[in-house]
Amino acid sequence: MSIPQASAAAVDGADSPSVTITAHEDGTAFITVDGTETVLHQRDLPSATKAAVDHVAAVVATPAGRPIRAMAIDPSTGHNLIEIAPNGKVTVLPLEVVDEAPAPVEEPQEPESEPEPVEEAPAVVETVPVVVDEEPVPSAAAQSDEGTGPVPVTRRERRLTARDFAATMPEAPAAPAAEGWRGSLNRVSGGALRLAPGTLELNHRQRRASIQRGIAGHKTILVLNEKGGVGKTTVTWCLGATLGRVRGGTVLAWDNNEYKGTLGIRSQPAAHDHTARDLLNYVGNFTDTRHTGELVNFVRPQGENKFDVLASQSLDGDSDVIDAAAFRELHASLSPFYRLIVVDSGNNSRAETWQAAVEAADVLVLATIVKEDSSRTLASLADTLIAQGHEDKLANAVTVMGHTSPTNYPDLEKRLEEHMGQLTRSVVSIPYDAALDRGDVIDYDALTLASREAWLTAAAAVMDGLK
């Protein structure tokens, strides 16, 4: 393991000033020169990067009459060693590392007695079938369809194809960095720098690629738990927003609570207050995609988030609810209009509409908050799914663990991750975000960077389970 140098002075000589620059996405830059800190406020990260470079050039490099090295610390992408000239020119230097002390090597010990001679096993010689032009030659590894003899291999079958040639094309190099300090330096350099992306940015691109990949047909994602107040609605909305913003296309978030769901409350309002119950009365009018425009009278577009919301009915317990047949009818009618449907379940695993949603789902998302009662309910939900015959869907599911306060419970989170990690395909932790704390309309742009990255991870994990 290697540890990056924490100070630019250590690589620039003992008489050089120790300069560090830390910039943030909100446009704040902290510049420390030999322990004295200066704070700059700009509109965004690229502006903060340029202002910080100009400050060091004017205040440190110009009086010194030579380039000054600085450690640029990016909270998202790590350390970058840069050299800033008096004229503001920036050169990125290799980041020196200090290797950890090697583990002590034990001195070889003389054996107490001569070891018994070991008889060498005979070498195994693997025979390869000879291939002659057009003459079939038996292959020991291949069996015929009837299972009575080997499949013949001919030279013609082993000839290279155009696809083989295309497969030899080297992978295209990654595009220059667009995020963090490296991306900011690339932008403010006017094309003079084309720094490669760091590991975090490459991971970020990979998650976006997972979300954007092509999938066949129309898919349904179900967010579920048997307990209220565990974040199902938040997960449904944030997955819809992430998929809509990153993937685009047609995405619907549907509140399938059999009574009073809250997805409509957390979503941007529309010019109407229609719900799934209202749509059910007119579902016969939507027979093909020519009627797409009329859906706006029932769903609620979410603006820049590029997805729609179908709210649940606001009915009392003694009123008619959407049963299994109604869910299937709505699902069959809505699927041609949306490539992805994210369904927010109710809390009753015995309800017909809950069970119908599980049957229709291509991927399950098990949602919880990191609290003891909610975590136990989630573990019980896994038992319920297995008892209902959905063990395969559980194995392909994604567990999303949310935090509803700044207080963490690492021991509980570890227990939950270990348990659900053995039952589901992926476990994703979502950090606490004050922007989600009030329970009102969710503003995606108000989410923290860490929160948006976590939702990106969750959405990528979900998409990885779709075929």
For residue 261, the one-letter residue type is G
Mean pLDDT, to the nearest integer, of 304-329?
81
Q: Which of 12-26, 161-175, 375-389 has the highest mean pLDDT?
A: 375-389
Q: Answer for the pair 125, 133: CB distance below 8 angstroms, yes or no.
A: no
More confident residue, 305 or 76: 305
Query: Which helix (DSSP H) or strand (DSSP E) does residue 322 occupy?
Result: none
Q: What is the pLDDT of residue 77?
A: 63
Q: Which of 31-45, 194-208, 286-300 has the highest mean pLDDT?
A: 31-45
The residues, ordered by sequence, that sit 6+ positions from 357 with a Cβ below 8 Å of its Cβ are: 220, 222, 224, 256, 327, 343, 345
Mean pLDDT, to the nearest integer, of 429-448?
94
Q: CA 82, CA 156: separation in Å to the nearest integer?
A: 58
Q: What is the pLDDT of residue 142?
A: 45
Q: What is the pLDDT of residue 329?
A: 94
Residue 96 scores a pLDDT above 60? no
Give CATH for domain 208-464: 3.40.50.300
Q: Which of 108-117, 348-357, 433-442 shows the lowest per-residue confidence on average (mean pLDDT)?
A: 108-117
Q: What is the pLDDT of residue 348?
A: 86
Confidence band of 155 (pLDDT split at 50, 70, 90): low
Residue 63 scores a pLDDT above 70? yes
Q: What is the pLDDT of residue 400?
A: 98
- At 104-142, the pLDDT tens digits run 444 445 544 444 444 444 444 343 444 444 444 444 444
Mean pLDDT, to the nearest integer, of 181-201?
78
Question: Residue 70: beta bridge partners?
Answer: 82
More confident residue, 391 or 156: 391
Confidence band of 1 (pLDDT split at 50, 70, 90): very low
Query: Which helix (DSSP H) or strand (DSSP E) does residue 360 occupy?
Result: helix 352-360
- At 225-235, the pLDDT tens digits run 988 889 999 99
| Token representation of residue 322 | 């959407």
Q: What is the pLDDT of residue 351?
A: 87
- Cα distances (angstroms) measured from residue 15 to each of 69, 94, 189, 207: 12, 21, 29, 44
- At 234-279, the pLDDT tens digits run 999 999 999 999 998 899 999 998 777 899 999 999 999 999 989 9
Residue 378 scores a pLDDT above 80? yes
Question: Domain residues of the chain, as ranges?
Answer: 2-96, 208-464
Q: Taking all residues of the chain, what is their mean pLDDT, rounded to a whole number?
A: 83
Residue 338 scores a pLDDT above 90? yes
Mean pLDDT, to the nearest integer, of 276-301?
86
| Token representation of residue 227 | 């307990």
Confidence band of 182 (pLDDT split at 50, 70, 90): confident
The two most distant CA atoms of the chain are separated, in Å, by: 91
- Let me know how long the chain is: 467
Mean pLDDT, to the nearest integer, of 384-412?
95
Residue 434 scores a pLDDT above 90? yes
Residue 64 scores a pLDDT above 70? yes
Q: What is the pLDDT of residue 102?
A: 42
Q: Answer for the pair 143, 150: CB distance below 8 angstroms, yes or no.
A: yes
Neighbours of 382 (CB within 10 A): 20
Instruction: State the sign of the Cα–Cα–Cα–Cα dihedral 99, 103, 104, 109.
Output: negative
Q: What is the pLDDT of residue 121?
A: 43
Which residue do the tokens 């929160």 mark? 451
Query: Which helix (DSSP H) or strand (DSSP E) does residue 4 occupy?
Result: strand 2-4
Q: What is the pLDDT of residue 308?
A: 97
- Cα distances (angstroms) measured from residue 418 to each of 120, 210, 312, 411: 44, 25, 34, 11
Percent of the chain with pLDDT over 70: 81
| Token representation of residue 22 | 């830390």
DSSP class per residue in 11-43? GT-TTS--EEEEE-TTSEEEEEETTEEEEEE-S
